[in-house]
A and B are shown apart, each in its own frame.
Chain A
């Protein structure tokens, strides 16, 4: 019998701690699939963030390290300089990357550090129970914006890809989502391109993935997917923001 669909070997056969309808599991799976398909399990080193994905190393069967909140790009820099021949990626949430770790991501990108960042934007701080993130939409209700995000008090959602696009050190920047099977395929392609950018020594690559957090968005999983397509994408338009292939 032909196997059409199976668990990637790089993904441990264990239940995850993620909430129902969370997008992290999908993204983990895509990374594991690529690692399997390319046969690079032994050549890949990953960085887990502080955030819901803090235990990513419990699911991905590769060499991995944790990093302090927001610091994965700096830690990845230290690893990549020692092992320039390995694929090094950071996996970060929006609080990790775009709030506490803003300096690290900008300067790592600006150095053209030859690593790949998987940036999971769920518009909220999941791990700490749903506070405002830098990427929380205007008027979006969170624990710390009970009346909705208010521009005068909280400023605007931060568009990371657009911010990094002006830096000469960035090579590949894409924004994708996991809101539909088609979008998931696009996400996989974008991660592949990010990894290829690194393998070909073309410098910094980042894939921003719009991802659902039904629990802290106070929605059911289907509504959450709709929220991505109908609301998130108008603030965070999908597409390739920068590509060395087309420049």
Chain B
């Protein structure tokens, strides 16, 4: 049965379905609906809801419940996520599974409360201290935030690693139909390592401290091995109209929704999917931001004449796109910040400019270098 929910509410419901019974949060717009929904629902399902004194306390309560073997979650928005970074580093270092929802807003500083994708760096590149990775999932709709939150608990448990859902004010606050098709999880995975009281067994320790020389390096090697495994097995993306594409958009979340419109419009205006003067446009939408879908982007870059990355930021994910492309084709960027959402018109114009530049110049690759840094929207 389909229900009409906001992304924030859908995330909360999916977490409950996935067996999460311990939620800790601190109010911040635009994720408030998630927290207030949990305040109503957790007592109904026999769970725990605590409004913590800060995001720092909330993430450490998550650390405690994760260490105790339970499925647990916190949510916040950008400034609050900055505060949680210490805790996320400890969770990664102690290999504790949990789910963290970031409903991104504009920054830096207090910024504003409108949609943004400017937390890509802090989500994907670590954010806290040390060599660690948070698995980052980027939903593009209310249905998808529900699906990804549900899956996030399994992924977190499978790898004993924190998982972040990287949404934004748009995904969090818009209302769309959503259907919960997956079953309520009641049989939670057994966790032999968890703290339950050492009755009848050797005691367990949860820690990230390795003061004896050599131990920390060995532990880091173990973590890196796990990260390579995650990179091998957990990459998710959506490819749209990639077959025979001449130019490909790369975007996630809200930006990807708009990019998809651009691709759909191009198909509509030309049944063969040609855009502009014989240019066919496709879209790669990363669903996992870490692990990043490097493979498909690399493969695509060998076939297309250009890639355009679109973000609600001054250019963050584009760095990973360029790393994947390794100069095989020019990578352009279009971004909006401070609550600005790229419109399909703006993206279409940018595509036309790229196209024009290509036609006008034989030394296309050389001339695009200045282009590739420009972002006329900001």
**Residues of A at under 8 Å CB distance from B?**
41-45, 48, 54-55, 57, 61-68, 71, 74-83, 86, 103-104, 106-107, 111
Contacts and interface: CB of A to CB of B under 8 A. Distances in A.
Given A78-B68, A79-B195, A107-B53, 11 more contacts: A61-B198, A64-B203, A65-B67, A78-B66, A79-B65, A83-B195, A83-B196, A83-B197, A86-B196, A103-B57, A104-B53
Contacts of A81: 22, 48, 50, 61, 64-65
18 contacts: A42-B199, A43-B197, A44-B197, A61-B203, A63-B196, A63-B205, A66-B209, A68-B60, A74-B57, A74-B60, A75-B64, A78-B62, A78-B65, A78-B68, A82-B68, A83-B68, A83-B197, A86-B197
A219 to B, nearest CB: 27
A107 B60 contact: no
Q: What 8 A-B pairs come out closest when comparing CB atoms?
A: A78-B64, A42-B199, A74-B60, A82-B68, A65-B206, A107-B53, A78-B61, A75-B64
Contacts of A74: 52, 56-58, 60-61, 63-64
Counting chain B residues whose Cβ lies within 8 A of the other chain, the interface size class is: 35 or more
Contact of A79 (B56, B68, B90, B200): B68
Interface string B8-40: 000000000000001010000000000000000
A61 B57 CA distance: 27
B259 interface: no
A81 to B, nearest CB: 4
Given A42-B200, A103-B54, A103-B57, A64 B66 contact: no
Given A66-B206, A77-B50, A71 B195 contact: no
B115 interface: no
The secondary-structure label for the interface of chain A is helix
A41 B198 CA distance: 7
Contacts of B50: 77, 81, 111
A96 to B, nearest CB: 13
Interface in B47-86: 48, 50, 52-54, 56-58, 60-70, 72, 86
Contact of A63 (B63, B86, B197, B200): B197
Contacts of A48: 207
B197 A42 contact: yes
Nearest to A46: B195
A185 B96 CA distance: 39
Given A45-B197, A75-B64, A78-B66, A68 B22 contact: no
A95 to B, nearest CB: 16
A79 B205 CA distance: 13
